[in-house]
Chain A
Amino acid sequence: MALLEVEDLRVAFGAATAVDGVSFTVDEGKVVGLVGESGCGKSVTSLAIMGLLPKGRPGKRRKAEPLQVAAAEPVGGALKAAVPQSVPVAGRGRKDGGAEVNGRAAFDGVDLLTLAPSAMRRKRGRDLAMIFQDPLSSLNPVVPIGRQITEVLERHRGLKGDKASKEAANLLDRVGIPDPARRLKEYPHQLSGGMRQRVLIAIAVACKPRLLIADEPTTALDVTIQAQILELLKDLVDSEGTALLMITHDLGVVAGLCDEVNVLYSGRVVESAPVRELFARPTHPYTVGLLGSIPRLDLGIHEPLTPIRGSIADVIRWKDGCAFAPRCDRVAEPCVAGEPALVGAVHAHRCVMAEEIA
């Protein structure tokens, strides 16, 4: 049985649908990638699994603001650092209107979506933990980092006082922060970006979770630091046997880290395959487009990149045909004739033209 089984996950904010029937599995000890551009629903998917989406007020739900979807970002390459990532909903806008979450996200056989809030709180941080995108805003500016680590140890492992501090220092050492005992007393603003992300990782792995969800953990970091952080994640996952759900728009990260990949477009999985298979035989035109827009060292410097034209639509409409059709170069009659199904087992895709294209 898979450690995490997401089945037909649907998330809507009022009238706006963010995730429209996403299914995938994460096996024990495996690294699974969730790839797609901003607004495709990958962050919302992870937040839904963690139970961190704002709850709608039952009975008296107010009309939610339509989901803000950022323009498509260039995928991979150096440009991406310049594009601010916006996680829809999870930011400041979340006071208004809650999320309506449907489907199933079974963790070890237990559906997380129907779990009582208090039971979910006992699992969060202990069995499944999350690493966020922006390490500065994700750490409390007025609490020493040591306390931000020990509070998890206290809550889930019952460690207190000196024992907790000692363990926190061990964790900082584990994630590669020098002089951990001194660092414990420091505040987030006194650390560098890479160090802050290491602290967030230390917090996430503090209770040896079985599933780690990393939401774009390297997006806010310098390229050299990115490599170090990815190396650290890989090392932690390998040594502890933790399963990792890696959310990213960076196919380079996927290639280096993941065992399996799910490509998301407009709230649905459009292709899923083992990582080598995906890079060797990308089937869905969107995946092909993503791969084509990565700068490559083996091409000449004057060779232009091939961007995917247009940007992701802010309304999800799979009902009347493929949502990618307006941006697809190979669009044909059958594409807009109805809802495309996800076909295939090990290497699945959602493209009715796949056979013709191949």
Chain B
Amino acid sequence: MLKFVIFTSVLAISTSAIELTFELPDNANQCFYEDLKKDVDSVFEFQVVTGGHYDVDLIIEDPNGKVLYKDTKKQYDSINFKAELDGTYKACFSNEFSTFSHKIVYMDWQFGDRNALHAAVTQGAHAMSQLENYAVSIGDKLRTIDDYQTHHRLREATGRKRAEELNERVMIWSLGQSAVVVFIGIGQVFLLKSFFNDKRTRY
């Protein structure tokens, strides 16, 4: 009985995913580490939600410091890799090239065997019935929908934040321009007057 519990729970652990959305200040560097076992598949996805030109640098390194992925100024990407060694894998986001725009970055790191999701969740091993298989495949499809939804949500967030920023800018610019027009209008008059005043005093 105890063995079964451990077995099934290990299965539940062996596949896991973490989604994080975090803020990356200007000139900052943020690293995440994950201990992976040999031959474990990983899917690493990221997307810049807001800030600057929506780009970020990313480096993924294996435990020996071998670079598995390195790219600069990417807006989004999806990386698949298989762990060749046991140890700590490192993913570092860097915004060092940007001096003033802080960014919001979404990342999703899935590791482990995806098929483990199909394994029995309850105790005891048994053959799956047709109905159970259907349930599993519906579950898979729903997970895909969820994934698409996440991406859609992030895109929408990017668009929405841009629109909010635009709204703000239009507002500020309008006020600024009003002030400039009035200022120049008054300035012109006084400048013109000063020309005539000068002539009078000189001759």
Say whether A associates with B. Answer: no
| Interfacial residues, chain B to chain A (CB-CB below 8 A) | none
